[in-house]
Structure 1
Amino acid sequence: MRDSDDMPVLADLDAVAAELAKHPRDLYVRWSRGPEADRCESGHSRDSLTGVPLPGLSANPMTVEPWWDGRPVRLWVARRLYDYLHLRDLRGPGVRAWLLTGEACGRGPDNEPLVRCLCPVAWIDGQALEEAAQLVSSQGSAEWGPLDRRAH
């Protein structure tokens, strides 16, 4: 894996969507202190309930599903980022969203893919995350929200 200092920063949702267009099948978003920190932790996540080491990094796919059927990719990207926005606060200082290309090697305790990082791609800037939250909120769904276990 390359150093996180070498990774570009994607400033907005359009930039994230453009990156997805380059990697439509193997792009994942991960919330951590970055590729270097993950490498130092042996490239594996741990189950936060039990501490059991997992066989890969916990990440979420950015791949647009066929049922999305031509709807705006920008909204798809926004909801994928919004789902786990709470992790930057929950996991503490230095945790950021970043994109990687990866290969699935299992499923985690929340049924999320566990991946082997093939290549770190880019950091996602806070502005893009704010845009994601605003776009999701603008949909006005009372039945939809983040995947935050701490939520009321």
Structure 2
Amino acid sequence: MPAIGSLDELADLIARRPGLYVRWSMGPEIDLRAPGSRDELTGIPLPGLSANPLDVEPWWGERPLRVWAARRLYDYAHLPRVKDPRVRPWLLHGKVNGRGPDNEPLVTDVRPIGWIDPAVIEESTEEISRQHGGWGPLDRSRRDANPA
């Protein structure tokens, strides 16, 4: 499978091809053997692969696609550290078949597009660090175990 090698290349793909998703896993060879995710809390099988949409929302306006793409990757860049170092992001096209427990799309009819190179994750982190305001990844392992 080819690799997307830069944040600009990813932004260009997002602009040209609607219906793209990013999935963080060990890859399509493993995921497509039994295409469906599992709810980690309950173990319930889900009707599709858990993935994050890359389509730009209308409220984003004319802002840079590069920042949009960076944010979509940055939010989950912690997953290799907290799940398994073999977990990597890959790009796919598919059809939404429902929503998972975190309201994420569950995608079927999956067509792999390419791996997202680790350099793109580094670029995403740099891009997010240049933005105004504080922003962190959606890392549950870092949350307080006893929220107020």
TM-score of the two chains, using structure 2 as the length reference: 0.92
Q: How does 1:67-78 map to 2 (within 5 A)?
A: 67-78=59-70
In structure 1, distance between residues paired with 2:74 and 2:5:
16
Return the offset for 1:151: 1.9
Tell me which stretches of 4 or more aligned residues in structure 1 moved more than 2 Å: none
Report if the CA contact (8 A) 1:100-1:117 is conserved: no
Give the structure 1 partner of residue 11 of structure 2. Answer: 17
Amino acid paired to 1:34: G
Report if the CA contact (8 A) 1:23-1:101 is conserved: no
The one-character-per-residue Cα deviations of 1:115-141 (angstroms, maximum 9, x if unpaired) are 014310010001000010111111141
The one-character-per-residue Cα deviations of 1:88-126 (angstroms, maximum 9, x if unpaired) are 222213210000001000000100000014310010001
Give the structure 1 partner of residue 24 of structure 2. Answer: 31
What's the secondary structure of 1:48's corresponding residue? Answer: coil
In structure 1, distance between residues paired with 2:4 and 2:90:
9
User: Sequence identity of aligned pairs in percent?
Assistant: 57
Q: Does 1:83 align with 2:75?
A: yes
1:116 alignment partner, one of 108, 111, 127:
108
The one-character-per-residue Cα deviations of 1:39-62 (angstroms, maximum 9, x if unpaired) are 22x101010111111010000000
TM-score of the two chains, using structure 1 as the length reference: 0.90
Return the offset for 1:68: 0.4
Report if the CA contact (8 A) 2:82-2:141 is conserved: no
How many residue pairs get aligned? The number is 143
In structure 2, distance between residues paired with 1:77 and 1:151:
23
In structure 1, distance between residues paired with 2:17 and 2:86:
26
What's the secondary structure of 2:124's corresponding residue? Answer: helix
Give the structure 2 partner of residue 4 of structure 1. Answer: none
Report if the CA contact (8 A) 1:8-1:121 is conserved: yes
| Structure 1: gaps (5+ residues) | 1-6
Give the structure 1 partner of residue 142 of structure 2. Answer: 151
Q: What is the aligned-residue RMSD (CA, Å)?
A: 1.1
In structure 1, distance between residues paired with 2:110 and 2:16:
15
What's the secondary structure of 2:139's corresponding residue? Answer: coil
